[in-house]
Amino acid sequence: MTGNFARRQFILSGAVWASVVLGLAACGSNLRKSDDDGPVEVAVEAGRIRGTTETGVGVFRGIPYAAAPTGDLRFKAPVPARAWQGVRDANRFGPMPPAGDPQRNEPSLDVGITNGGDEWLTLNVWTTNAGGSRPDLPVLVWIHGGGYTTGTSADARYNGAALAKRGVVVVTCNYRVGVEGFAQISGAPANRGLLDQIEVLRWVRDNISVFGGDPGNVTIFGQSAGAGSIACLLTSPLARGLYRRAIAESVPGDLFSGALAEEIGGAIAQQLGVRPSIEELARFAPAALAEAARSTRRDQWGARAVMTTGFAPVIDSVSLPESPWRALARGVARDVPLIVGHTQHEYNSQILQKGGFGAVSATDVDEVLGLVPGGADAYRRGYPELDDAHLYEVASSDLIFRMPSLHLAQAHTGAGGTTYLYEFLYNTKGAGSGHMAELPLVFGTVESSAAGVALYGKPAPDSALSLAEEIQSRWVSFARGGDPGWPAYTPAEKLTRNFDAASSTGRYRETVSDDIWNGTNFDPIVIES
């Protein structure tokens, strides 16, 4: 099992890091009141900031929403940013938070990011109405993915200019990841990365009007770990009232029990010869903690823990009192309209990182099929046409993203919430409809980001550009008034928007997997004996 574990850990790490490598091209659009390029100033609560304009869209980068989480504030809940004197430059992204794996934190990739520094907790704003007299634009707040262990708002895929031109204010943010954000540490609040996101929403409530945004019309949206964060924000009592709608793209089922999170945190500390407390772990630089986390073997807690990055939100009485799936089924967010969906072949990118379908081993297949409802028999019966490698892809996609996304929709709908379900089917270059494939379309960065060009080419086909127009239009329509333009999901009809070269609306396509997973609960991952 040792070799397979190392391989699996590499696959997950490589897939997450590849997404960051592809995204970290220069992401620059900068606003003023006119369509001419030039500086623009606004006053937020902490002080004045100066951004720039570009073709009528203004960008303010690297705005601190919380104080640097270092020194006495390390491993603590975020506190609002300290006020500054004069005018603060807002033309460069804030530094990337320390990644959960030091090999993913290469400074050569930090294009357009403030060099060094520990002011990780920053956000960025795109708007066409900075300083406008009528702050009535809908607001979209983006939470990036990265397996709860890496990521940055400087990713070129997340350039908010195209969405802003459609009449919304776009906010993207950094938050703590890895040990800094999600390790269970004695004396520290749990889910510090989620607390950072909630602090972003408080900042938006208090400041977004100076950018022309309506603080009463905020939609939170995110992908992968960002979508998992959205599910948690729907659940957290600390986030209630800070947003109006939500979009979750490819929701992971990763959620830790308190006992598992404590075991992982203790094992990381043990690598360094200390206890998992604030006082002792704060003696180490983030890179040392990340290295210790990378060296910690997750197979000691069971096969399901191996399928995670080692970090995930944890059940906690303050910030996340119960599983989002159970909470939504109780109706805790029934007043929040929700879009949720997934790509068709979520696990394709991970398999490609491993070397392709030919590199999938019998052990890989057996381990994944041992984690799904009904085991190997259910999947072999349900998908008799698939060879083992492709069965591995379907089962892994279901386990990690597809079924958690579907069940979130079902839980929300079952409690009386309004839910819109989608599946992304577009066949990209070499990766099919894999994980993250929709991101350049959502942000309109198909031809302006490295990831977009890798997936769609340059020039991109008209079908991809048309689909980008459709998705952006539907996301903005939802942010504006709660209706993306296709029928809501119901248990009887299961209507789903199928995003493709020729999009359509019809009954949910993944009926076999839906049947296999019927009645399954996505409860926190526990320690396996």
Do the beta carbons of residue 170 and residue 142 sit within 8 Å? yes
**DSSP result, 112-136:** TB--S-S---EEEEEES-TT-S---
List Cβ neighbours of 500 (8 Å cut-off, separation of 6 or more).
425, 426, 467
* Widest distance between CA atoms in the chain: 68
Do the beta carbons of residue 234 and residue 338 sit within 8 Å? yes
Task: Of 381, 424, 385, 382, give the one whose Cα is nearest residue 402.
Answer: 424
Burial (CB count <10 Å: 0-12, 13-18, 19+), residue 325? buried
Find out whether the peptide bond into 459 is cis, omega within 30 degrees of 0: yes
Catalytic residue among 319, 345, 435, 449: 435
**DSSP result, 334-361:** TTS-EEEEEETTTTHHHHHHHT-GGG--
- The CA-atom distances, in angstroms, between 315 and each of 91, 312, 451, 508, 525 are 38, 10, 34, 31, 10
Count the alpha carbons within 13 Å of 16 in the hemisphere toward its beta carbon.
30
Read off φ and ψ for residue 59, nearest 5 degrees: -125, 130
Do the beta carbons of residue 24 and residue 155 sit within 8 Å? yes
Beta carbons within 10 angstroms of residue 502's beta carbon: 9
Q: How far apart are CA 251 and CA 242, in angstroms?
A: 21
C-alpha of 407 from chain center: 18
186 as an active site residue: the answer is no
412 as an active site residue: the answer is no
Catalytic residue among 322, 346, 438, 510: 346
Q: What is residue 16's three-state secondary structure?
A: helix
Catalytic residue among 13, 19, 153, 224: 224
Question: What amino acid occupies position 435?
Answer: H
Count the alpha carbons within 13 Å of 201 in the hemisphere toward its beta carbon.
28
Token code pair at residue 197: 């996101």
Read off φ and ψ for residue 104, nearest 5 degrees: -100, 0
144 as an active site residue: the answer is no
Do the beta carbons of residue 486 and residue 420 sit within 8 Å? yes
Q: Which residues are tagged catalytic?
A: 224, 346, 435
